[in-house]
Amino acid sequence: MTRLILLDADRAGGPTAPEPRFPAEMIASLRAGGAVIFPTDTLYGLGVDPCSETGLDRLLAAKGRDRGKPIPLLLSEKEQVDRWARHVPAAASRLMDRFWPGALTLVLPADPGVHTAVTGGGDTVGLRVPDHPVPRALAALLSGAVTGTSANRSGNPGAWGSAEEIVREFTGEVDWVLWEGAGNSPGSTVVRMTDDRPVLLREGVLPFRDIVEFLQRG
């Protein structure tokens, strides 16, 4: 059964919003391998605990996603980066200070302990601190992170116009839907930072030129 929770958009969204409160039952189910759809500062995300193999299997099944494709993580705070990344280049640290919380996903060398379903079998992991209190609070209540892949079937758009649409699409696939209202976004900008040279993987809300210009200023 998929349960819908309607969030107050004025209270739940924005960087100055108060810390959201979730039902204890929901957090317990996520820790046990459950799945939730939730709002972010870009697209709606499909969230599971990235340390839960059961949760990761459910995410891949719900999206129809290839195991060779990595799953980005949303963090509760910047200080969680060292738990997931083996190395943080100096330029990447500068970008975190400038653009986090925000719509920038940094692809960094992965810690060896990160589940292969998250890395897609590779040696990097995508990390972001979103500018929205809901995913940050979810991450803090799990393992410091929550998966942040878009809430859509692989190959389909990740934008939703109503709660009914998203519940109908994922009934039986996820346990919870946190609905804040319709939204549309090109998603976060994804930049590979395995060294101090930024490599654009996907341009989203944040223009890549802003990233390059910032780093060039030294």
CATH code at position 147? 3.90.870.10
Provide the sign of the torsion angle of the four alpha carbons 65, 159, 95, 14, taken in this order: negative
Provide the sign of the torsion angle of the four alpha carbons 179, 158, 185, 72, taken in this order: positive
Percent of all residues in the chain with a pLDDT value above 90, rounded to a whole number: 77
- What pLDDT digit, counting tens, does each position of 33-55 carry? 999 999 999 999 999 999 999 99
- What pLDDT digit, counting tens, does each position of 94-136 carry? 999 999 999 999 999 999 999 999 999 999 999 999 999 999 9
Overall pTM surpassing 0.85 (yes/no): yes
Give CA separation, 63 vs 42, 45, 92, 115, 178, in Å.
18, 11, 30, 18, 18
Indicate if the pLDDT at residue 160 is higher than 90.
no
Cis peptide before 101 (omega within 30 of 0): yes
Domain tally for the chain?
A: 1
Q: Look at the block and give the residue holding tokens 């963090």.
A: 75
Q: Which domain holds residue 210?
A: 3-216
